[in-house]
Amino acid sequence: MKPLTALAFDFGTRSIGTAYGQSVTDSARELKPLPARDGQPDWTLLQRLIDEWQPALLLVGLPLNMDGSESELSQRARKFGNRLHGRTGLPVEFIDERLSTRAAKEEAYERGHRGNFAEDPVDSIAARIILEDWLRARAS
């Protein structure tokens, strides 16, 4: 398989977690989350992120209900992903992110954070988990 670089986004209405990964080592790292206002990021900051990391693909976490159905937040995440594609021209894939936020909160807690996530924001940990899951699925 051809090496691939990707940026992952964990959509939220106040913060959008970000992570970068690549398929050569199947690894991902958290990046600083993007502030959002009612789900709208600062598109200039987002474009700078894309310019800096030069991803071939964008991944957007899709917050599905536990039964697999979509919620209002799922629809907003899809709208965000569609806008990402429209603004960048890059391919966008939506990834089932059920339980990623829970895993991210547990990881932040294990790192010693007790509610102040300024250094290890849960949103970006969740984006990294989404990207790692995608890399694992792609490798198998």
Q: Considering its fold, how many domains does the chain have in total?
A: 1
- Helix (H), strand (E), coil (C) string for 74-99: HHHHHHHHHHHHHHHCCCEEEEECCC
Q: Could you tell me the pLDDT band of residue 120, with boundaries at 50, 70 and 90?
A: low
Strand ranges across the sheet with 27-37 = 40-41, 27-37, 15-22, 5-10, 57-62, 92-96
Q: What are the C-alpha distances in Å from 101 to residues 6, 12, 18, 54, 123?
A: 20, 11, 13, 26, 7
The pTM assigned to this predicted structure is 0.88
Q: Could you tell me the pLDDT band of residue 1, with boundaries at 50, 70 and 90?
A: low
Q: Could you tell me the pLDDT band of residue 115, with boundaries at 50, 70 and 90?
A: low
119, pLDDT greater than 90: no
Instruction: Match 């398989």 to its residue by tokens.
Output: 1
pLDDT at 38: 92
Q: What is the pLDDT of residues 27-40, one digit of tens each?
A: 999 999 999 999 99
Q: Which domain holds residue 80?
A: 5-139
Question: For the domain that residue 60 is a member of, what is the CATH number?
Answer: 3.30.420.140
| Structure-token pair, residue 93 | 């894939």
Q: What is the pLDDT of residues 52-64, one digit of tens each?
A: 999 999 999 998 8
pLDDT at 140: 73
Instruction: Specify whether the CB–CB gap between 139 and 26 falls below 8 A.
Output: yes
Answer with the residue of higher pLDDT: 98 or 46: 46
- The share of the chain scoring above pLDDT 90, in percent, equals 59
Q: What is the pLDDT of residues 72-111, one digit of tens each?
A: 999 999 999 999 999 999 999 999 887 777 777 777 778 7
